[in-house]
Structure 1
Amino acid sequence: MITVHLKYEIDADKLEDFEEYGRRWVGLVNRFGGTHHGYFLPSEGDSDIAYALFSFPSLAAYEQYRADSMRDPECQAAFELARTTRCIKRYERRFLRPLDGLSQP
């Protein structure tokens, strides 16, 4: 299993746009065979940092999702929402391997 950790620098004045972007991607990742663990939005502390976590059974499955998402109209609409609203200033992507007592290396 591979878990993707995304750290977003967002425009705090466009939080509603970012929330809509996140709602779309939760469903899309799940539709493409992943498990979305949710978006984590600013509350106390930094007002412009948000996170997301989602997992795929393997790096190959994640790479297939990435390729398929480039051709999917709903994914393209979500990308376009972020581009037109400019709710995301930048993001960082990390790949993690969960250690939960159940996963094998």
Structure 2
Amino acid sequence: MITCVVRYTVDPKKITAFEQFARRWMALVQAHGGTHHGYFLPAEGASDEALALFSFPGLAAYEEYRQLFGRDPEFIEADRIRDESGCVLRYERTFMRPLLPGDDGSA
């Protein structure tokens, strides 16, 4: 399993648009073989950081999903929310391997 962690810098004045963007991407990840663990949004103070975590069975499955970017109409529409609203100022993507409760290390 591979987990993608996306760290966003968001415009705090455009959180509603970011939530719309996030809901759309959660559905797309789920519909294309991944498990979305949610978006984590600013809750207190003047924070402009948000996180998203989602997993795919492996890098090959993630790459299949990535092939739809810029080509599939639903993916294009999801990105349009971000682009037209300006809710995301920047983002960075990191891949991690989860260690989950019950993992005994005998992989």
What TM-score do the two structures reach when normalised by structure 1? Answer: 0.93
Instruction: Tell me the residue number matched to 1:93.
Output: 93
Instruction: Tell me the residue number matched to 1:34.
Output: 34
Aligned identity (percent) is 52
Number of aligned residue pairs:
105
SS of residue matched to 1:69: coil
Q: Does 1:74 align with 2:71?
A: no
Deviations 1:9-42 (A, max 9, x none): 0000000000000000000000000000000000
Cα shift at 1:103:
7.4
What TM-score do the two structures reach when normalised by structure 2? Answer: 0.91
Measured in 1, the distance between the counterparts of 2:2 and 2:36 equals 12
Please provide the CA RMSD for this pair: 1.6
Instruction: Tell me the residue number matched to 1:48.
Output: 48
Following TM superposition, where does structure 1 have runs of at least 4 consecutive aligned residues deviating by more than 6 angstroms?
A: none
Match of 1:58, as an amino acid? G
Measured in 2, the distance between the counterparts of 1:59 and 1:102 equals 22
**Cα pair distance change 1:102/1:4, threshold 3 Å:** farther
Q: Which has the larger radius of gyration?
A: 2
Cα shift at 1:71:
1.9
| Structure 2 unaligned residues grouped into runs of 5+ | none
Contact 2:7 2:49 in 1 (8 A): yes
| Structure 1 unaligned residues grouped into runs of 5+ | none
**Cα pair distance change 1:71/1:43, threshold 3 Å:** same
